Structure 1
Amino acid sequence: MIKCHLSKILGDKKLKVAEVARVTGINKNTLHRLYNETATRVELDVIETLCRYLDVEIGDLLEILDD
């Protein structure tokens, strides 16, 4: 299973999904799915944009967990 740490990162940086969507151009629904860990697929450019904007590595955003 892949865990997305977007909610923790946004909380630590005191950012809101709407603000990230506005600045990055990423669809708000896509961000909400990542935030709530309900996304089943994500485009690589979305991951890249998020990592660059949030100044994190891919491993900070996504983690593979054993089932």
Structure 2
Amino acid sequence: MIRIKLSDLLGKHKMSQKALSDLTKIRPATISKMYYEESKRLDIQQLNSICHVFNCKISDLLEYIPDDDKTE
């Protein structure tokens, strides 16, 4: 699974979802879905905008966690 670490970044930078939305021009509802890790798809340009605001790498925003079920 892919973990979206937006809540961690917002907390670290003491920034609200609304402020991030204003800075990136990403809809508040989209930011909220990312924050609560409810997004099914992620837009590359939006990820780029978020990384630009936080001056971070994509690995600071997304984390791959292998699934526990090992199907053969």
Percent sequence identity is 30
Counterpart mapping for 1:27-66 below 5 A? 27-66=27-66
Q: How many residues align?
A: 67
User: Runs ≥4 in structure 1, deviation > 3 angstroms?
Assistant: none
- What 5-or-longer segments of structure 1 have no aligned partner? none
TM-score, structure 1 length as denominator? 0.96
- What 5-or-longer segments of structure 2 have no aligned partner? 68-72
CA RMSD in angstroms comes to 0.6
Structure whose CA Rg is larger: 2
**Quick check: which one's helix share is greater?**
1
What residue is the counterpart of 1:8 in the other structure?
A: 8
Deviations 1:20-67 (A, max 9, x none): 101110111111000000000011000000001111100110010011
